[in-house]
Amino acid sequence: MKSSRSWLGLLGFGAAVAAAGIVGARYSPRDLRTKLWYNRLDKPSWNPPNFVFPVVWTALYSLIAVSGWRVWEQKSSPERTRALRLWATQLATNAEWTRLFFGRHQPRQSLLDVIALETQILRYIATAKDVDLGAAACFLPYAAWVAFATVLNAEIARRNPDAGKLWPRAA
């Protein structure tokens, strides 16, 4: 039976992930201008349909929260502290990608961000495995998805060198 401190910890990690998701959602294609811009991009045939993204991210965000919580639950150590710092850093980098890609319409800048994100995820996995193997395993699907997202982002940036100019004109 988990203590109330433990459950509050899980709630805290869930809240942190939800906050990052909310920040990212501010720039999502639900906004009409952003949706129009995104629809104008030249995307590869292997770009997933739009309905896939919220399903995948809901699952990944859940795993991200559980992973951070599992590390936090372990005995204090330098590795645990390092893993928790990497966890927080990757979460901030994750939210920044959405702002750069959708909010600022800068696929090239967001590509640099997603490369940094993948690096942070892999560093987290390498660090977390020494603290809690299950926590590291929770990040494996995230690492795979972000690797795919990096390739997709790179292809969109390549195909759309003037992406910032695809802004919808005011009526």
Q: Rounded to whole angstroms, how far apart are CA atoms 80 and 87?
A: 10
Q: Is 104 helix (H, G, I), strand (E, B) or coil?
A: coil
pLDDT in tens, 48-103: 998 999 999 999 999 999 999 999 999 999 999 999 999 999 999 999 999 999 98
What CATH number labels 4-166?
1.20.1260.100
List b or e across 28-37, with b for residues whose CB sees 16 or more CB atoms inside 10 angstroms: beeeeebeeb
Q: What is the pTM of this model?
A: 0.91
Supply the pLDDT for residue 169.
52
Instruction: Provide the token pair at 3.
Output: 């203590």
DSSP 8-state symbol, 160:
-
Mean per-residue pLDDT for 10-20? 93
- Per domain, the residue ranges of the chain are 4-166
List all residues 6 or more positions away from 170 whose beta carbon is below 8 Å from its beta carbon.
Answer: none
pLDDT for 170 beyond 70: no
List all residues 6 or more positions away from 3 whose beta carbon is below 8 Å from its beta carbon.
Answer: none
